[in-house]
Structure 1
Amino acid sequence: MTNTFGAEAAALVAQMTITEKLDLVCGNGLWRTKGVPRLELPSLLMVDGSNGLRVVPDQISTDTQNTDLGAFLNAVETTDDPEKRDDNVLLGKSIPATCFPALSVLANSWDITLAHEIGTALAIECRAAGAQILLGPGINLRRSPLAGRGFEYFSEDPILTGEMAAGVIRGLQDNGVGASLKHFACNNSETERISMDSVVEPRALHEVYLLGFERAIAKSSPWTVMTSYNRLNGVQTAQNSWLLRDVLRGRWSYAGMIMSDWHGIQDLPAAISAGNDLDMPFNAARRRRLKDAVSVGNVPTRVLDEACIHIAALTLRIADAQRRLTVSRPNFVVHHDLARKAASRACVLLKNQNDILPLTPKSCTGLLVIGTGAVAPEIQGAGSAAVRPIRCDIPLECLKTIAPIDVPIQWEAGWSANGDDDALLHNAALAAARSAETVIVFASPPPCISGENADRPNLALCPSHDRLIAELTTFHSRVIVVLTHPDAVVLPWADNVQAILSAGYAGSGYGKAVADILFGHTNPSGKTSVTWPMRPEDCPAFLGYPGEQGKHFYREGIFVGYRFFDIRQIKPLFPFGHGLSYTSFTYDALQLTSTQEGASVRFTVSNTGTRAGREICQLYLRRSPAAANRALPHHPLRALKGFTSVSLEAGESRVVDIALNRRDLAYFDTVRDDWTVPTGTVSVDIGASSRDIRLSASLHIVGDAAPTRWLDLHTPPGQVLEISGVKKDLVAWLADVTGQSIVETETQLAPCTRSFLGIYDTLCWSFGLELDETRLTHILDDANRRSRAKKPAITAKHIHNDY
Structure 2
Amino acid sequence: MTVEDIADIADDRAALVELAARLTREEKIDLVSGRGLFSTAPIPRLGIPAIVMVDGPNGLRYVPDQITREDADLGAFLAAVRTGGEDEEAGASLLLGDSLPATCFPAASALANSWDVGLSFRMGAALATEARALGVSILLGPGINLRRCPLAGRGFEYYSEDPVLSGDMAAGMINGLQRNGVGASLKHLACNNAEAERTSMDSVVEPRALHELYLLGFERAIAASAPWTVMTSYNRLNGTHTSADPWLLRQVLRDRWGYGGTVVSDWHGIQDRPAALVAGNDLDMPHSAARKRRLRAALAGGQVPPQALDEACVNMLALVSRARAAARTHVPTPDFAAHHRLARHLAARSCVLLANRRGALPLAPVDGETLLVVGTGARSPQIQGAGSAVVRPRACDVPLDALRALAPPGVRLLHCPGWADDGTPDTARHAEALAAARGARSVVVFASTPPSVSGENADRRSLDLLAAHDALISELARTHDRVIVVLTHPDAVLLPWADDVAAILSAGYAGQGFGGAIADLLFGHANPSGKLSVTWPARIEDCPALPGFPGENGKHLYREGIFVGYRHYDRKRIAPLFPFGFGLSYTRFRYSDLVLDSAALAPGQDLAVHCTVTNTGTRAGHEICQLYLGRDASQRGTGPDHPDRALKSFSVVELAPGESRQVTFTLGPRDFAWFDVASNGWRVPDGMVTIEVGASSRDIRLSAPLRVTGDGTAARRLTLHTPPGIVLATDHARRLLVPWLAGQMTADDTAADALLERCGASFLGLYDTLSWSLGREPDEDGLIALLDRINHANGIVTDEGTA
Give TM-score scaled by structure 1 length: 0.96
C-alpha separation in 2, matches of 1:396 and 1:432: 16
| Partners of 2:367 and 2:640 in 1: CA distance | 55
Find the counterpart in structure 1 of residue 557 from structure 2.
Answer: 553
**8 Å CA contact 1:76, 1:90 repeated in 2:** no
Pick one of 237, 249, 258 that aligns with 2:263. 258
SS in 2 for 1:60: helix
Q: Which of 26, 32, 35 is 2:39 aligned to?
A: 32
Query: Residue 305 of structure 2 aligns with which residue?
Result: 300
Partner of 1:795: none
Using the TM superposition, give the Cα deviation of residue 401 of structure 1 relative to its aligned residue in structure 2, in angstroms. Answer: 0.3
| 1:788 corresponds to 2:792 | no
Are 1:175 and 2:183 matched, yes or no?
no
Query: Do structure 1's residue 634 and structure 2's residue 624 form an aligned pair?
Result: no
CA distance in 1, matches of 2:88, 2:51: 37
- Report the Cα offset of residue 88 of structure 1: 9.0
Query: Per-residue CA shift, 1:256-313, capped at 9, x if unaligned?
Result: 0000000001111111011100000001111011001111111111100111110101
- Could you say what secondary structure the match of 1:763 adopts? helix
Which of 91, 99, 103 is the matching residue for 1:98? 103
Query: Structure 1 vs Structure 2: percent identity of aligned residues?
Result: 59
Q: Is the 8 A contact 2:85 2:390 kept in 1?
A: no
Identify if the C-alpha distance between structure 1 residues 364 and 370 changes in structure 2 by more than 3 Å, giving closer, same or farther.
Answer: farther
From 718, 721, 724, the equivalent of 1:714 is: 721
- In structure 2, the residue matched to 1:598 is 606
SS at match of 2:358: helix
Helix, strand or coil at the partner of 1:687:
strand
The answer to whether 1:679 aligns with 2:686 is yes
Distance 1:520 1:306, change over 3 A: same
Instruction: State the SS of the aligned residue for 2:129.
Output: helix
State the match for 2:800 in structure 1: none
Partner of 1:565: 569
The separation in 2 between residues aligned to 1:670 and 1:577, in whole angstroms, is 30
**Considering only aligned residues, what root-mean-square deviation do their CA atoms show, in Å?**
1.9
Among candidates 351, 355, 366, match of residue 347 of structure 1: 351
Could you tell me whether the CA contact under 8 Å between 2:367 and 2:411 is conserved in 1? no
Q: Which residue of 623, 626, 630 corresponds with 1:622?
A: 630
Shift of 1:761: 1.3
Query: Which amino acid letter does the alignment assign opposite residue 610 of structure 1?
Result: T
Equivalences for residues 152-231 of structure 1 within 5 A: 152-231=157-236
CA distance in 2, matches of 1:608, 1:342: 25
| Equivalent residue number for residue 748 of structure 1 | 755
1:360 to 349, 357, 364: 364
- Tell me by how many angstroms 1:534 deviates: 0.7
Which SS does the other structure have where 2:479 is aligned? coil
Tell me the residue number matched to 1:480.
484
Cα distance change, pair 609–35 in 1 and its aligned pair in 2 (3 A): same
In structure 1, the residue matched to 2:250 is 245
Q: Secondary structure at the match of 2:354?
A: strand
Give the letter aligned to residue 252 of structure 1.
W
**1:278 is matched with which residue: 241, 260, 283?**
283
The one-letter code matched in structure 1 to 2:696 is S
- How many angstroms does 1:474 deviate by? 1.2
1:725 alignment counterpart: 732
Instruction: State how far apart, in whole Å, the 1-side matches of 2:51 and 2:177 are.
Output: 16
Aligned-partner Cα distance in 1 for 2:447–2:53: 36
Give the whole-Å Cα distance in 1 for the aligned partners of 2:89 and 2:651.
45
Partners in 1 of 2:93 and 2:700 — Cα distance? 48
Amino acid at match of 1:51: N
- 1:120 counterpart = 2:125: yes
Q: Deviations 1:335-385 (Å, cap 9, x if unpaired)?
A: 001101100110000000122101113499211000000000111111110
- The residue type equivalent to 1:466 in the other structure is D
Distance in 1 (alpha carbons) for counterparts of 2:661 and 2:640? 38
The aligned runs of 1:130-149 (5 Å cut-off) are: 130-149=135-154
**Residue 428 of structure 2: aligned partner:** 424
Task: Give the one of 442, 461, 482 matched to 1:438.
Answer: 442
Q: CA deviation at 1:656?
A: 0.6
> Taking structure 2 as the reference length, what is the TM-score of the superposition?
0.96
Give per-residue Cα distances to partners, 1:630-656, cap 9 Å, x unaligned: x62111111000000000010000011
On the 8 A contact 1:182/1:227 being kept in 2, the answer is yes
Of 434, 459, 462, 2:463 maps to 459
Work out which of the residue numbers 645, 660, 663 in structure 1 matches 2:652: 645
| Aligned equivalent of 1:50, options 41, 54, 57 | 57
Change (3 A) 1:251 1:81: closer
Instruction: Find the aligned partners of 1:626 and 1:317 in 2 and give their Cα distance.
Output: 53
SS at match of 2:331: coil
Matched, 1:402 2:409: no
- CA positional deviation for 1:626: 6.8
User: Structure 2 residue aligned with 1:613, among 607, 610, 621?
Assistant: 621
User: What is the aligned partner in structure 1 of residue 318 from structure 2?
Assistant: 313
Q: Secondary structure at the match of 1:16?
A: coil
Contact 2:83 2:388 in 1 (8 A): no
Q: Distance in 2 between matches of 1:427 and 1:3?
A: 66
**Partner of 1:333 in structure 2?**
337
CA distance in 2, matches of 1:666, 1:198: 25
**Which whole-Å CA distance do the structure 2 matches of 1:657 and 1:165 have between them?**
22
Of the structure 1 ranges 448-457 and 267-276, higher mean CA displacement relative to structure 2 is found in 448-457
Partners of 1:618 and 1:186 in 2: CA distance: 26
Give the CA deviation at 1:736. 2.2
- Partner of 1:122, secondary structure, is helix
Distance 1:444 1:361 in 2: 25
Q: Which residue of 2 aligns with 1:772?
A: 779
Equivalent residue, structure 1, for 2:27: 20
Contact 2:367 2:409 in 1 (8 A): no
- SS of the residue 2:795 aligns to: helix
| Mapped contact 1:363–1:438 kept (Cα < 8 A) | no
Corresponding residue for residue 801 of structure 2: none
Closer/same/farther in 2, CA of residues 734 and 199 from structure 1, 3 Å limit: same
User: Which residue identity is paired with 1:481?
Assistant: V
Secondary structure of 1:398's partner? Answer: helix
* Aligned residues of 1:145 and 1:487 also touching (Cα < 8 A): yes
Distance in structure 2 (CA, Å) of the matches to 1:745 and 1:391: 82
Distance 2:752 2:149 in 1: 56
Q: SS in structure 1 opposite 2:40? A: coil
Aligned partners of 1:775 and 1:627: how far apart in 2? Answer: 37
> Which amino acid in structure 1 is aligned with residue 286 of structure 2?
P
Counterpart of 1:705 in structure 2 is 712
Q: CA deviation at 1:657?
A: 0.6
How far does residue 768 in structure 1 lie from its aligned partner after superposition?
A: 2.5
Aligned with 1:584 (options 582, 588, 611)? 588
Alpha-carbon shift at residue 583 of structure 1 (Å):
0.5
Aligned to 1:269: 274
Q: Deviations over 1:113-147 (max 9, x none)?
A: 01000000000000001100000000000011111
Give the unaligned 5+ runs of structure 1.
791-803
Q: In the aligned structure 2, how far is the partner of 1:5 from the partner of 1:627?
A: 52
Change (3 A) 1:273 1:88: farther
Aligned to 1:799: none
Q: CA deviation at 1:246?
A: 0.8
CA displacement at 1:317 relative to structure 2: 1.2
Which of residues 508, 512, 515 in structure 2 aligns to 1:508? 512
Is this contact kept in 1: 2:115–2:624, CA < 8 A? yes
Counterpart of 2:423, as a letter, is G
Q: Is there any run of 5+ residues in structure 2 with no aligned partner, and where?
A: 1-6, 798-803
Distance 2:363 2:622 in 1: 20
Q: Aligned partners of 2:588 and 2:254: how far apart in 1?
A: 46
Cα pair distance change 1:213/1:626, threshold 3 Å: farther
Q: Deviations over 1:753-781 (max 9, x none)?
A: 11111111111221223210111112211
Alignment length, in residue pairs? Answer: 786
Paired residue secondary structure (1:494): coil
CA distance in 2 between partners of 1:59 and 1:748 (Å): 75
Q: 1:3 to 1:79 in 2, by over 3 A?
A: closer
Which residue number corresponds to residue 68 of structure 1?
73
Q: Secondary structure at 1:544's aligned position in 2?
A: coil
Structure 1 distance, partners of 2:244, 2:775, is: 51
Shift of 1:787: 1.6
